[in-house]
Amino acid sequence: MSIKERIHRKFPFQGLEDYLSSQEIPVFDNTVNYKSEGIQLNFISDPSRKLRTKVAYLYEYLAKSIYGNLPKKIHTIKHATLEKYFEFEIDIETDDSAIEIKASRIGKGDLKLEDIKMAKRCLIYNNEFVFNKNIIYTLFSHKIGRLRDFSEEKELIQSLCSNTFSMIQFPFRVAFDLWISKKSGRVDGDYTKKYICSRIYSHFWNSLLLYPEETLKYHDVDIEGLEFIKGKMSNNIIFNGFNLSQFPVLIIKNNKSKEWEDKFYYLMNNKDKLPDFFKNSFDNVFTYEVTPSDKIEENEGTVQQPLEETSFDLLPTPEEDIRF
């Protein structure tokens, strides 16, 4: 099957028998205790967006049980030599990693790599700003239904437990290559009015599970030094009393690649070699000026406030845009 073809799965392990026969991944805690009183969604009027935001919260709780979690923070990151700062939000934080959690509905949603966020991560990776943790992305794909299908919150959790189809973990360097790839979709416009981003369509993730190396190469991702580990989710996770069904897990590990590092540092020093959105992203990182009273020492932070409406917003994919 060509990696350009759409791949539809009715069941999580359909066509992925090698994942089914693989080992379970280790998890930090087998019990997920979600308390809804911590979630405030009244400020979201659109039912579809409210569901996506609630689902994102639930997957964040699931990720905490997988990785473990330090108290959630918004860091203020300082420039290595200059008096410059920017805020850096972290979904899941461990002793050595900062993990961004994404959730995408198969066939309907996509992953967006927001320009401003990516620019901040580039500045950190380029050692211009001090933050001594690995940046990792974790994407969950699911087939959770419509908001009106759930009369109670527990029904939504039950649906998540039976309709999660995969988990893919990948390092910053993969996200960077996808962000600048010409094969990724783009949402452009005014930074002050909406999130500007590259879009990775949901069919890509299905293909990535089946053909990791080939799919990344097709999307202009440098795979030198990447390690691909196939596994499956633990069969012993209980989420608010419901057993989480197993699903495929692909972990992409970053072993150092001099070729990729050289390319990255070259582009950071020659931003004009890439489309305008790349260099414009860095120009907009410091739109928000941090006042002296807001400054926070390295690796300290404040408790994160409830998510804004735009957080975890999964852009709908118009029918004509559904492509691989």
Q: What CA–CA distances, in Å, run from 201 to 53, 174, 220, 225, 277?
A: 18, 15, 15, 25, 19
Q: Measured in whole angstroms, how far is the alpha carbon of residue 211 from the centre of its chain?
A: 20
For residue range 99-157, list pLDDT tens digits in order: 999 998 887 778 889 999 999 999 988 888 778 888 999 999 999 877 667 777 888 89
- Name the CA dihedral angle for 117, 122, 128, 130, rounded to a multiple of 10 degrees: 60
Residue 319 lies in a domain: no
How many domains are contained in the chain? 1
Is residue 104 a part of any domain in this protein? Answer: yes
| Segment (H or E) for 168 | strand 164-171
Which residues touch 260 (CB under 8 Å, ≥6 apart)?
173, 222, 224, 225
pLDDT for the residue 57: 86
User: What's the start-to-end Cα distance of the chain, in Å?
Assistant: 13
**10-residue averages of pLDDT along the chain (324 residues):** 56 92 96 71 50 82 91 77 80 90 84 90 85 90 79 87 96 96 85 75 87 95 96 96 97 90 92 85 67 35 29 28 25
| 41 inside domain | yes
Give the range of the structural domain holding residue 35, as residue numbers without chain letter: 17-307
Beta-bridge partner residues of 140: 103, 167
Domain-embedded: residue 313: no
Q: What was the pLDDT predicted at 300?
A: 33
Q: Which residue has the tokens 């109670």?
A: 152
Residue 280 domain flag? yes
- Closest C-alpha among 19, 60, 125 to residue 52: 60
The pLDDT score that the predictor gives to residue 264 is: 94
The dihedral formed by the CA atoms of 16, 17, 23 and 24, expressed in degrees to the nearest 10 = 50
- How many Å apart are CA 255 and CA 229, to the nearest integer? 13
8 is a domain residue: no
pLDDT of residue 7: 57
Q: Is residue 67 part of a domain?
A: yes
Select from 244, 187, 289 the least CA-distant residue to 65.
Answer: 244
CA distance 241 to 232: 21
Query: Helices 115-125 and 276-283 sit at what angle, rounded to 10 degrees?
Result: 80
Could you tell me if residue 294 is inside a domain? yes
